[in-house]
Amino acid sequence: MNNSADYSLLYQGDLRTSITHHRSGEVVVTDAPVDNNGKGESFSPTDLVCSALASCVMTILGIKARDMGYENVEMKADVWKTMATNPRRIGKIRVALEVRIEGLTDQQRTILERTTRACPVAHSLSSGTEKEVTFDWL
């Protein structure tokens, strides 16, 4: 194996993999979903893709909020994945964000929402994958 890799994966058998992040040692396990012959006991690879979109949007928003002088940022995201067929793929990812940042103006909220469009995960996904991100400002 290449020791300079960012992370590595091992096939554990029974449609399960483990992913080790080299810098931190953190491990993530994936399972094939039940609807694709798996046990569904952990995130599926497509779940990780959808979670990556939500995480990226939250990170981009957090960076911009910090740059604007806001340190106390609370966020929560719910994610829905819709699979498509022929070929089997992610057809739609829906992310509903709840965001609490005290003292924001409507203009600042708009700036933060627009900033999230720079999310590299969203830009990396196929144009055939519908991406819907909504914001609920608390």
Query: What span, in angstroms and rounded, lies between the C-alpha atoms of 70 and 65?
Result: 5
Burial 53-90 (b: 16+ CB within 10 A, else e): bbbbbbebbbebbeeeebeebebebeeebeeeeeeeeb
Rounded Cα distance, 49 and 33, in Å? 14
At 121, phi and psi to the nearest 5? -65, -45
pTM: 0.94
The pLDDT mean for the chain works out to: 96
What residues does each domain of the chain span?
A: 1-43, 45-137
Per residue in 22-54, pLDDT (tens digit) is 999 999 999 999 999 999 999 999 999 999 999
Model confidence pLDDT, tens digit, residues 93-125? 999 999 999 999 999 999 999 999 999 999 999
- The answer to whether the beta carbons of residues 101 and 73 sit under 8 Å apart is yes
Helix (H, G, I), strand (E, B) or coil at 100: strand
The CATH code of the domain at 45-137 is: 3.30.300.20
pLDDT of residue 1: 54
